[in-house]
Amino acid sequence: MATTEQGADLVVIGGGVVGLSVAWRACVRGMRAVVLEAGEVAHGASHHAAGMIAPVAEVAPGEEPLLELGLRSAGLYPGFIAALREDAGGAEVGYTRCGTLMVARGADEAEALERERMLREQRGLTVERLAPSEARRREPALAPALRAALDLPDDHAVDPRLLCAALATAIERRGGTVREHTPAVAVHAGGVRLGDGSGVLTGAVVVATGAAAGSLKGVGEFVPSRPVKGQIMRLHDPEGPGLLTRVVRFPPTYVVPRGDGRYVIGGTSEERGLDTTVTAGAALEMLREAAELVPGISELVLDEFTAGIRPGTPDNLPAIGPASVPGVWWATGHYRGGVLLAPATAELLVGAMCGDPPDVLLAPFDPARLWSLLR
């Protein structure tokens, strides 16, 4: 007969970058956290993510709260990584303070460049407008076909797969537990029931299921999830590092160097439900775009071409805060920004759970804003 197993101060349901970050920060604050992952840790959106830490990059007009949260999170990143590496026994996480070149070829891209420049200047962020010749001096692999460029020295990148592995290690080393292949089926007063009929006793639950929201019972009103497919490529240079040192962005495409000769080219945004097929058309388009700007990309070896599902919400803002039932919290719906937003989400949510003074930054992400949409 299945029995109730261990007890925990906090159960986090969902082992992606957000859930793992919440669990780790909770452990740092002295809680015993258990992560329950239905499949393998970080095999959802986190597995496919490129890992850009670029708070201004993907914020649409009117999404000021997201920009604020992204800026806070980007600011937290250096300390988050340093503490994580210490807790994870020095684990490498591929955090490169590489900076980003945003480049434009035609009028549309130049417009996006101008918007990014103004947003940054309004906020006192560093941005340098470059002539094409200067952009090519800084990144010699760029093609001559440039119209304009911005140097964004504060936009960096991390390797999400290494980051998640380090988070899992850090949780365990802090006395927490990460359980794979352990689906949670229901939350009830004082605990979580698992798929095999056993349970975990806990005082608090965080639901961080992302696009894999499933049919978890007992969490009150649900945060609606809108799946947004992203096709993404991983490549490496047999000659080693050096083709690019910075992230190169020409929306909607980006090339992220890992600093060791590996590169990521992303990513499509497609509303096709939970479809994760990869298509010839997307491959053609991404490689054509990328090789037009960085011709040396044609010489790279293609290692992976995959598709992941980003967890969107109806308003594209994450849901971070209390559920409609006591003792349960949401940390989900991070859409295109799970990696960027994980440190701030974890800090602010764990702070709220511990009774820290409310941080106004969290207010726009209150999950309750979404519940009326369900009725």
Query: Using CB under 6 A, which residues numbered 296 to 315 contact ligand GLY?
Result: 310
User: Using the rule CB under 6 A, which residue among 9, 37, 58, 116 binds ligand GLY?
Assistant: 58
29 with 354: CB under 8 angstroms? yes
Whose tokens are 């992303």? That residue is: 266
DSSP state of 293: H
Residues that contact ligand GLY, how many (by CB under 6 A): 8
CA distances from 347 to 73, 78, 359 (A): 9, 14, 10
User: Using the rule CB under 6 A, which residue among 16, 199, 257, 267 binds ligand GLY?
Assistant: 267
CA distances from 44 to 49, 61, 301, 363 (A): 9, 28, 24, 27
Cα end-to-end span (Å), the chain: 40
User: Using the rule CB under 6 A, which residue among 50, 152, 162, 248 binds ligand GLY?
Assistant: 50
- Return the number of the residue (161 or 336) whose C-beta is nearest ligand GLY: 336
- Return the number of the residue (58 or 155) whose C-beta is nearest ligand GLY: 58
- Is position 230 an interface residue for ligand GLY (rule: CB under 6 A)? yes
Helices (H), 123-271: 132-138, 160-173
For the bound state, the minimum distance from the C-beta of residue 286 to ligand GLY, rounded and expressed in Å, comes to: 11
- Is position 168 an interface residue for ligand GLY (rule: CB under 6 A)? no
- Is position 249 an interface residue for ligand GLY (rule: CB under 6 A)? no
Write each residue from 330 to 369 as x if it is in contact with ligand GLY (CB under 6 A), else as -, in one continuous string: ------x---------------------------------
For the bound state, the minimum distance from the C-beta of residue 130 to ligand GLY, rounded and expressed in Å, comes to: 23
- Return the number of the residue (50 or 194) whose C-beta is nearest ligand GLY: 50
- Is position 210 an interface residue for ligand GLY (rule: CB under 6 A)? no
Q: Is 268 helix (H, G, I), strand (E, B) or coil?
A: coil
- Return the number of the residue (43 or 336) whose C-beta is nearest ligand GLY: 336
Among 155, 156, 158, 154, smallest CA distance to 46 is for 158
d(CA 311, CA 336): 8
List strand residue ranges (DSSP E) for 132-281, in order.
Answer: 148-152, 156-157, 177-179, 184-188, 191-194, 199-207, 226-236, 247-250, 253-257, 262-266
For the bound state, the minimum distance from the C-beta of residue 323 to ligand GLY, rounded and expressed in Å, comes to: 26
Task: Find residue 301's DSSP bridge partners.
Answer: 236
355: left (phi over 0), alpha (psi -120 to 50) or beta: left
- Is position 13 an interface residue for ligand GLY (rule: CB under 6 A)? no
d(CA 365, CA 61): 17
Residues whose CB is less than 8 angstroms from the CB of residue 75 and which lie 6 or more positions away in sequence, other chains included: none
Burial class (CB in 10 A: 0-12, 13-18, 19+), 226: middle
For the bound state, the minimum distance from the C-beta of residue 321 to ligand GLY, rounded and expressed in Å, comes to: 23
- Is position 266 an interface residue for ligand GLY (rule: CB under 6 A)? yes
Residues whose CB is less than 8 angstroms from the CB of residue 362 and which lie 6 or more positions away in sequence, other chains included: 320, 321, 348, 349, 352
Neighbours of 287 (CB within 10 A): 19
- Is position 52 an interface residue for ligand GLY (rule: CB under 6 A)? yes
For the bound state, the minimum distance from the C-beta of residue 360 to ligand GLY, rounded and expressed in Å, comes to: 25
For the bound state, the minimum distance from the C-beta of residue 162 to ligand GLY, rounded and expressed in Å, comes to: 17
- Return the number of the residue (22 or 52) whose C-beta is nearest ligand GLY: 52
- Return the number of the residue (14 or 267) whose C-beta is nearest ligand GLY: 267
For the bound state, the minimum distance from the C-beta of residue 61 to ligand GLY, rounded and expressed in Å, comes to: 18
For the bound state, the minimum distance from the C-beta of residue 372 to ligand GLY, rounded and expressed in Å, comes to: 27
For the bound state, the minimum distance from the C-beta of residue 270 to ligand GLY, rounded and expressed in Å, comes to: 11
Quick one: which segment of 50-58, 237-245, 282-290, 351-359 binds ligand GLY (CB under 6 A)?
50-58
For ligand GLY, the binding residues (CB under 6 A) are 50, 52, 58, 230, 266-267, 310, 336
